[in-house]
Amino acid sequence: MIGKLFRYNGGLKLPENKEQTTHRPIQPASVPPRLIIPVQQHIGTPAEPLVKVGDTVLKGQMIAKGNGLISAPVHASSSGIVVDIGEYPVPHPSGLTATCVVIEPDGLETMADHLPPIHDVTQYTPEEIRERIHQAGIVGLGGAGFPSHVKLAPKHQHMVEILLLNGAECEPYITCDDMLMRERPEEILKGMLIMRYALMAKRCIIGIEDNKPLAAKALREAITRLKLDDVEVIEVPSLYPNGGEKQLIRVITGIEIPANRLPIDYRIVCQNVGTAYAVARAIHHGEPLISRIITVTGAVGSPCNLEVPFGILASELISQCAGTMDHIDRIIMGGPMMGFALPNADVPVVKTTNCLLALNDNILPLPHKNRALPCIRCGSCATACPVNLLPQQLYWYARAKDFDKIQDYRLFDCIECGCCEYVCPSQIPLVQYFRFAKGQIWEQEREKKKSDIARERHEFRQHRIEREKEEKAARHKAKAAAVAEDTSGSDEKKAAIQAALERVKAKQSAPEPTDGNTEQS
């Protein structure tokens, strides 16, 4: 049992704004006339479409298959007809488009044949369980979207000490994990047991911020009902960013994982509670991942948590929650600290969407990021930084575009949590500067790689030309030597040559013989 909790430097108490969406139970979202389903909703290679325009698909049918090791399949979130496969805007800060399968639902919600439910996972190998999780299209639902079967495959068996379920949910406004834990704790626990089996993990811990007492209570009661003596629920202080994987691990186990290492290097695997729920549905019910809980809040009439089939547009979810786009000037996908603002409300929600935060000036005034004052070096940013950086120094070097120095100050350790910018009295858009610097450095490295390749190619060509010249010179020399030898030869030889030449002249019709010398001219 773990008694004492640990802490890290920095972090912030933030206004939570969670109560707006925890009064009402999770509601199902209604299925609109069109679903736009991106084939990439995860980190890794995009899935490959398996359907054609005009195909009839059933709810839960695989419409795109995983491609390569780090990928995940995508399933139809409702039954209907595929009306298009093409480029549509997807949730991305710069409004990118990507391949999507567009389905017109028939409203019948006809289910595809499920994979047979597995009731006792021990009848299967961990490998088979992971394959089922992969086939169900499950990815990390905490936000990153990393394919879960990869994260559940340790290099060696019995190497995982702790399976940590992350129910911290530290970002303001978001309550989807909270509501899931309150309403469906048993499924979460069952999913956890499946993951524990796949990992052969020794211990199971669920970490929850202490601002969610009802979720913790629901889970504890479910643990008693299911008689799981060896699963522990640990309430951690509500301090942003305690829901960050490495921060939660630090608080619960005391282990600090540096920027260049992964939890698995420390025998820990961390999974989101929503992912555990999806795993339970996939294994015990044979259901693929086709929907999730999303918090829709902010400038909408009835903020709440919806169970949303993937492919519904953000704008439709907002109108389903009694919001009108006329009164909204920003939509944040994710939380207010790390989420990104959608350039376009008509983008589908995907597996990694946990929250839609609609904003206007009444709820949250638009920040005036261009009105920043100079840094007064107060150091509030360094005090708030959860990974011990000196943001004001990073800012200084980012502004000066000194990309060597900024890496000395460990720019790439920055997790972009936004704590520094939140407290900055000069209201400097620090995170924007850091992203800019990272982008520039990546760009330079790409350029360098390109130029390295070009240089190598050039050098190789130079080398080849040089070599050919040398070879040529050598051949010349050899030839010249041979000719010199010839001319200095005996009279007999000369006579013989003369005779030969004459023979040749005599045979005027005969074609000129060729020798190596013509090449060398």
In the complex, which residues of this chain contact other proteins (CB under 8 A)? 8-9, 14-15, 93, 172, 246, 256-259, 261, 325-326, 328-332, 336-345, 357, 359, 364, 366-367, 369, 371, 373-380, 382-383, 386-390, 392-393, 409-410, 413, 416, 418, 421-427, 429, 431-432, 435
Torsion of CA 429, 435, 436, 439, to 10 degrees: 180
CB of 326 to other proteins, least distance (A): 8
CB of 433 to other proteins, least distance (A): 10
Residue 165 corresponds to which amino acid? L
Torsion of CA 188, 170, 247, 234, to 10 degrees: -50
Specify the residue, 341 or 473, whose C-beta has the smaller distance to other proteins.
341
How far is the C-alpha of 401 from the C-alpha of 384, rounded, in Å?
24
How far is the C-alpha of 394 from the C-alpha of 349, rounded, in Å?
34
Query: 10 Å Cβ neighbour count for 212?
Result: 24
How far is the C-alpha of 454 from the C-alpha of 299, rounded, in Å?
53
Q: Yes or no: say if 82 and 331 are a contact pair by the CB < 8 Å rule.
A: no
CB of 271 to other proteins, least distance (A): 21
How far is the C-alpha of 486 from the C-alpha of 450, rounded, in Å?
53
Specify the residue, 148 or 392, whose C-beta has the smaller distance to other proteins.
392
Residue 337: closest CA among 406, 242, 404, 258: 242
CB of 260 to other proteins, least distance (A): 8
CB of 344 to other proteins, least distance (A): 7
How far is the C-alpha of 244 from the C-alpha of 262, rounded, in Å?
13
Specify the residue, 283 or 338, whose C-beta has the smaller distance to other proteins.
338
Specify the residue, 180 or 357, whose C-beta has the smaller distance to other proteins.
357
Assign 70 to helix, strand or coil: coil
Q: Residues in the chain, how many?
A: 521
Helix, strand, coil fractions of the chain, as percent rounded to 5: 40, 20, 45
User: What's phi and psi for 411, nearest 5 deg?
Assistant: -55, -40
Specify the residue, 181 or 358, whose C-beta has the smaller distance to other proteins.
358
CB of 298 to other proteins, least distance (A): 10
Q: Give how far Cα 411 sits from Cα of 236, 377, 408, 460, Å.
A: 28, 18, 8, 36
How far is the C-alpha of 138 from the C-alpha of 146, rounded, in Å?
9
Specify the residue, 133 or 375, whose C-beta has the smaller distance to other proteins.
375
Specify the residue, 293 or 387, whose C-beta has the smaller distance to other proteins.
387
Specify the residue, 135 or 380, whose C-beta has the smaller distance to other proteins.
380
Q: Give how far Cα 276 sits from Cα of 125, 195, 354, Å.
A: 18, 7, 15
CB of 12 to other proteins, least distance (A): 8
How far is the C-alpha of 262 from the C-alpha of 465, rounded, in Å?
48
Which single residue is written with the structure tokens 């992971």? Answer: 130
CB of 138 to other proteins, least distance (A): 27
CB of 278 to other proteins, least distance (A): 26
Specify the residue, 46 or 241, whose C-beta has the smaller distance to other proteins.
241
Specify the residue, 40 or 392, whose C-beta has the smaller distance to other proteins.
392
CB of 467 to other proteins, least distance (A): 49
